[in-house]
Structure 1
Amino acid sequence: MGAAALAMGAVLTVGSANAADEPRLTAALGDEVLKLIDIAPKGTKVLVNDAMVLEDRDSALVSFVNAYTLDGRWLLLLKAESDAKDCPARFRVLELSSPKPRVSPPFGSCSDAAEVATDGGVMTVTMPVPASKDIAAWTYRDGRIARTR
């Protein structure tokens, strides 16, 4: 089985998070519900089925990039945006289809131009390396992220 970005079974709603604890984004992915809630003064809570799986207070904003189905599992790519000029973006993979949702550590080359490929049970995220002509790559497999290029 291959992968699909925002495949059938995914519903996404975007709201304005004016009131406390109101989601900025809600996404139904299969039997799971993802919520992104802004927290003050900066940061984001990531909830799956109303259970918090990540609280990021280091980033200015955590956003949903896309969702992928891979061999029957939902994998989401999240982008943590920073105010730092030298590293404006880092990424995380959130896997919903394990017994307990898993979140990878932050990764990336500080570029916000990520491209995703899936094959053979593996999700690969590539992006340019700023101030270089190199391309960096990270592979997510079985709950682990590793730099592969």
Structure 2
Amino acid sequence: MYAAVAGSLLIATSAGAAEPRLMAALGNTVLTMTDIGPKHTQVSVNDKPVFEDKESEMLSFVGAYSLKERWIALFQADTGAKDCPTRFRILEVGGPQPVVSYPFGSCSDAAQVTIDNDMLTVSMPQPAGGGDAAWTYRNGKIGRTK
């Protein structure tokens, strides 16, 4: 199955064992997600593993966003935990080497992404209705801004 996302991004998906579940062309870079086993997903950039998720029930690709000369891929990790069922992670490609953020989020799966120049912000509701929380990614670093 092929689907166009975020402009010129092309995504291929499959469901075979040790076969990539997702392949996405981000500019001149190929991003691949492979399910190695239960609770074990590997994310690679140009066939080189950049991180492995061994804790989540499911790691999903949310979207890709272009920031000047770089691409930012947003992932959602469904943890299966009652107290915090969802966390997010960012992968930046296009620089000297891929950069992976630490997991972040308010535990909500209702993320909204905004881009302002070279900054990407991920906003989502806080638990128990405390308004929105936001994390901003800029220059390889993520920090809570709201």
Q: TM-score scaled by structure 1? A: 0.91
1:95-142 Cα deviation digits (max 9, x unpaired): 011110110000000000000000021000000012123110000000
Q: Deviations over 1:71-107 (max 9, x none)?
A: 1211111111111121111001110111101100000
> Is residue 105 of structure 1 aligned with residue 102 of structure 2?
yes
Question: Can you list the C-alpha shifts for 1:58-78, whole angstroms capped at 9, x where unaligned?
Answer: 111111000000112111111
Query: 1:6 corresponds to which residue?
Result: 6
- Alpha-carbon distance between aligned partners in 2 of 1:48 and 1:116, rounded to the nearest angstrom: 22
Residue 67 (structure 1) aligned to one of 57, 64, 69: 64
Q: Which of 1 and 2 has higher RCO (CA within 8 Å, sep 6+)?
A: 1
Q: Within 5 Å, give how 1:3-82 maps onto structure 2.
A: 6-8=6-8, 10-17=9-16, 19=17, 21-82=18-79
Distance 2:60 2:93 in 1: 16
Q: Aligned equivalents of 1:48 and 1:6: distance in 2?
A: 18
* Separation of aligned partners in 2, 1:7 and 1:115: 18
User: Whose strand proportion is higher, 1 or 2?
Assistant: 2
Cα RMSD, aligned residues only: 1.1
Contact persistence 1:88–1:110 (CA under 8 A): yes
**Sequence identity of aligned pairs in percent?**
53
TM-score, structure 2 length as denominator? 0.93
Q: Is the 8 A contact 1:95 1:101 kept in 2?
A: yes
- Give 1:139's aligned residue: 136
Count, aligned residues: 142
Runs of 4+ in 1 over 4 A off after TM superposition: none
SS at match of 1:84: coil
* 1:94 equivalent among 91, 96, 108: 91
- TM-aligned CA deviation for residue 43 of structure 1: 2.2
Tell me, which stretches of 5 or more residues in structure 2 are unaligned? none
